[in-house]
Chain A
Amino acid sequence: MAEPAAEQVIAGIPAAEGLVIGRIAREGGTHPGGHQAGHQVGRRAGSSAEERAALLAAVAQAKAELDALIAGEDELAAEILEFQQALLEDDDLLAPIFDAVQAGASAQGAWDQALDREIAEYRGGEDEYLSARAADLADLKGRVLRALAGEGDDGKAALAEGAILVAEDLTPSRFLELDWQRLGGGAIRGGSKTSHVAILARARGIPLIVGLEVELDRLAPDAPAVLDAEAGRLILAPSDGTLAQVQSRIQARAEGDAAAAEALAEDAVTAEGERVQVLINVDDPAILDGLSPAHCDGIGLTRTEFLFAGEEPPDEAAQLAVYRRILAWAGGKPVTIRTLDAGGDKPIPGVSREAEPNPFLGQRGLRLSLAHPEVFRVQLRALARAAAEGPLKVMLPMVTLPAELAQARRLLDEVLAELAAEGVAHGRPALGIMIEVPAAALTAGDFAADFYSIGSNDLVQYVMAAARDNPALAGLALADHPAVIELIQRSVAAARARGVEIGLCGDLASDPATVPLLLDCGLRSLSVAPAQLGRVKLALRGYRGKAAGP
């Protein structure tokens, strides 16, 4: 059959990895959380006593439905639904609604208005987490409205096998009602990586894209499509070439998944039995809840940019609490925390300079921290205090000259002296540098660093002079280019000569295909994306020493 339409790629944000070839299924407008109007005409309002009885019955029905849902779900899902259940038992929330009904409002109107007010309040603030919980309230709102309208629980909706569900948004309970044994995956316009739906999808391995950049009306039901939740793309009318490519990626993924899951709990060793350190990269400590420290050798990179997402830089106590929590999770395994790496593609309000003409070559990373010692010192104090409680290492990003490291070390020394004078418990963390700037890679031996960590993403873009956020240059941003490999080898040699540790914490380490190359360079410490732990361990198992030949 000919496909008249040309292939079309719609961008989104990958929230839960995976690949699906299927057909578009539109989530109907009659489900909770959708902007449905149908419930407004569900029933005719009666006397205030009748309305009160109707609302009581609807709340009871919603509770019973949630009970049944919770009973059938795993712990994570149950905990998410428990919040909604708790809201149904919240007298402070319910009493004003019943008061409004008493005063003559319809059950539907009173419930609708009160919940809308709460949803607006949850969404209104700056707080990203609270905004995301607005979806839980919308979910609950829809459930009670359905009960008021005399509709039962939708149960598992019948949708075509392997369909790609597209929707404005998905509520957690709707997500749980859907039959993911049949559905292949989902793409929604709303949502965020931190939404409950994203957490659920990741935990269950259901491919999901959020923030889909398309009007849903443009997606024809049953249109063939590819959901690429690895790259964050929905591909409409995929070409035969695209389909073949995705097919082989799916195949490889399925084989890899099974083996990787098995390798996850095993030791990280090469085929010859050599132990390799495998650590994890942490973007946001929230992910640690779902991870076992037993599966890794510690944390090789903790980004701290998330701490600075608010309007004001976080104070010492707030930072200390986070660093302590991370050390507690690691339970004695080493934890490397990177000082603020703002600037470049990661502007921080009030700290990084706005509108630099060339931000990637601008005042970013350590350069910015040294320019803002008042912000930097707070972070160093919090890190030094946390170092009293476990093996903490402090890593400096974007270092170019040995003098910058020396300046940072002086600041650290001053902070340690202050803490000692104040009688505050602290430790001296190891102070290391990232190798990202070619100048630092070429002269790594000149830095009095306690350890090195190669940041391959920036190193590649600086060596190849190809911005990593420019798709037009993808053909130039070659992570395995001999020039990059040469710099990695030189850095490893410099670290060996100085007798200090070196590892790699960029995307190169998370890609099973490039792991052998890194081992060939002499690296024996890799810090990887948590989701890639099993696959990297698997790649290590297949490594039989440096290949002979070219």
Chain B
Amino acid sequence: MNDAAKDLTEALGEAVIQDPTGLHARPAVKLTKLAKAHQAAVEVRVGAEADWVNAKSPNAVMKLKAGHGATLRFRASGSDAAAAVAALVALVERDFDG
């Protein structure tokens, strides 16, 4: 991590996908819109080992192919990193409702 990044707040969080059809198009769009509403850089991955992808890219999020029961992990860095991760975790936990 470089010096600039050290100054930024880092946040981590995770949530399990409830929807039986998994992270399909509508939830993926909701997720990216919510991520974009934050200034922080936000990344997401499925499981503990996969590559991180940009949570603000609907194309990348769609290609996660995150199925039902999969755990979405978020990490963010930036001024509102904690708020971004909390909002995204809450979105997944309420099954993308609203």
Give the residue name and chain of the A residue nearest to B26 (CB). A79
A321 and B68 within 8 A (CB): yes
A326–B95 alpha-carbon span in the complex (Å): 13
Are A92 and B57 in touch, CB under 8 angstroms?
yes
In the complex, what residue of chain B is closest to A285 when comparing beta carbons?
B20
Decide if B24 touches A93 in the complex (CB within 8 Å). Answer: no
Closest residue on chain B to residue A92 by CB atoms: B57
- Select which of B17, B24, B29 is within 8 A of A86 by beta carbon: B29
Contact with A along B53-88 (1 / 0, CB 8 A): 010111110110101110000000000000000000
Whether the pair B69, A322 counts as a contact (CB closer than 8 A) is yes
CA distance A129 to B25 in the complex (A): 9
A86 touches B32 (CB 8 A): yes
Q: Is B16 an interface residue (CB 8 A)?
A: yes
Q: How far is the CB of A467 from chain B (nearest CB, A)?
A: 32
The smallest C-beta distance from A329 to any residue of chain B, in angstroms, reads 9
A513 at the interface (CB under 8 A from B): no
Q: How many angstroms between the C-alpha atoms of A83 and B68 in the bound complex?
A: 20
Further contacts, 16 of them, CB under 8 A, given A82-B29, A285-B20, A320-B69: A79-B29, A87-B58, A90-B58, A90-B59, A90-B60, A92-B56, A92-B57, A118-B59, A122-B62, A129-B24, A130-B62, A133-B25, A286-B21, A314-B69, A318-B69, A322-B20
Contact present for A86 and B33 (CB under 8 Å):
yes
**Chain B residues whose C-beta falls within 8 Å of the C-beta of A321 in the assembled complex:** 16-18, 20, 68-69
State the CA gap A133–B33 with chains docked (Å). 19
Does residue A324 face the partner (Cβ distance < 8 Å to B)?
yes
Which residues of chain A come closer than 8 Å to B33, judged between CB atoms? 86
The answer on a CB contact under 8 Å between A325 and B68 is yes
* Chain A interface SS verdict (over half): helix
Partner of B20, one of A93, A121, A286: A286
Contact B54 A322 (CB under 8 A): no
Asked if A178 is at the interface (CB within 8 A of a chain B CB), the reply is no
Please tell me if the beta carbons of B59 and A133 are within 8 angstroms of each other in the complex.
no
Quick check: B59 and A324 within 8 Å, CB to CB?
A: no
A-B contact pairs, 15 of them (CB 8 A): A82-B29, A86-B32, A87-B58, A90-B32, A90-B59, A92-B54, A93-B57, A127-B65, A129-B65, A196-B25, A314-B69, A318-B67, A321-B17, A322-B20, A325-B68
| Contact residue among B22, B54, B59, B65 (Cβ-Cβ distance under 8 Å from A87) | B59
Is the C-beta of A228 less than 8 angstroms from some C-beta in chain B? no
A136 beta carbon closer than 8 Å to chain B: yes
Q: Which residue of chain B is the closest to A85 with respect to CB atoms?
A: B29
Complex Cα–Cα for A505 and B14 (A): 40
The 8 A CB mask of A95-138 against B (1 = contact, 0 = none) is: 00000000000000000000000100110010101100100100
In the bound complex, how far is the Cα of B63 from the Cα of A87, in angstroms? Answer: 12
Q: Which residue of A lies closest to B65 (CB)?
A: A127
What is the CA–CA distance of A322 and B25 in the complex, to the nearest angstrom? 18
When A121-B63, A127-B65 are in contact, do A325 and B22 touch as well, CB less than 8 Å? no
Q: Are A130 and B65 in contact (CB under 8 A)?
A: yes
Q: How many A-B residue pairs have CB under 8 A?
A: 78
- Number of B residues whose C-beta is below 8 Å from A? 26
A136 and B25 contact, CB distance less than 8 A: yes
Whether the Cβ atoms of A92 and B21 lie closer than 8 Å is no
Q: Considering residues B21, B33, B65, B67, which has the most beta carbons from chain A within 10 angstroms of its beta carbon?
A: B21
* A478 at interface by CB-CB < 8 Å: no
> Judging by beta carbons under 8 Å apart, are B62 and A133 in contact?
yes
Min C-beta distance of B34 to chain A, whole Å: 12
Chain A residue numbers with a CB within 8 Å of B57 are 90-93
Contact of A83 among B18, B29, B54 (CB under 8 A): B29
Q: Which residues of A contact B56 (CB under 8 A)?
A: 91-92
B53 to chain A: closest residue by CB:
A92
In Å, the complex CA distance between A233 and B92 comes to 41
Q: Are B29 and A326 in contact (CB under 8 A)?
A: no
Q: Is B19 an interface residue (CB 8 A)?
A: yes
When chains A and B are docked, how far (Å) is the Cα of A121 from the Cα of B59? Answer: 11
Of A79, A93, A130, A320, chain B has the most CB atoms within 10 Å of the CB of A130
Return chain B residues, CB-CB under 8 Å to A93.
Answer: 57, 59
Q: CA of A83 to CA of B33 in the docked complex: distance in angstroms? A: 11
Across chains A and B, which 3 residue pairs bring their CB atoms closest together, nearest first? Answer: A318-B69, A92-B57, A321-B69
Q: Is A317 an interface residue (CB 8 A)?
A: yes
| Chain B residues whose CB sits within 8 angstroms of the CB of A87 once the complex forms | 58-59
Question: Shortest Cβ distance from A202 into chain B, in angstroms?
Answer: 15
Determine if B28 is an interface residue (Cβ-Cβ < 8 Å).
Answer: yes
The answer to whether B26 touches A83, judged by C-beta atoms less than 8 angstroms apart, is yes
Q: Are A317 and B54 in contact (CB under 8 A)?
A: no
Tell yes or no: A80 within 8 A of B by CB. Answer: yes
| A90, A125, A196, A285 interface centre (most CB from chain B within 10 Å) | A90
**Chain B residues whose CB sits within 8 angstroms of the CB of A322 once the complex forms:** 20, 68-69
Nearest-CB distance from A80 to chain B (Å)?
7
Which A residues are CB-close (under 8 A) to B63? Answer: 121-122, 130
**In the bound complex, CA of A79 to CA of B28 (Å):** 11
CB contacts (< 8 Å) of B16 on chain A: these are: 321
State A323–B57 Cα separation when bound (angstroms): 31
Q: What's the Cα separation between A324 and B29 when bound, in Å?
A: 24
Given contacts A87-B59, A91-B57, A92-B59, contact A326 B65 (CB under 8 A): no
Contact mask for chain A residues 478-511; partner B; CB cutoff 8 A; 1 contact, 0 none: 0000000000000000000000000000000000
How far is it, in angstroms, between the C-alpha of A90 and the C-alpha of B62 when the chains are bound?
A: 12
- With both chains docked as a complex, state the minimum distance between the C-beta of A284 and any C-beta of chain B, in angstroms: 8
Measured CB to CB, the closest approach of chain B to A65, in angstroms, equals 18
Check if A82 sits within 8 Å of B22, measured CB to CB.
no
Query: Is A129's CB under 8 angstroms from B60's CB?
Result: no
Smallest beta-carbon distance A341→chain B, Å:
18
Interface contact A82-B26, CB-CB below 8 Å:
yes
Residues of B within 8 A of A196 (CB): 25
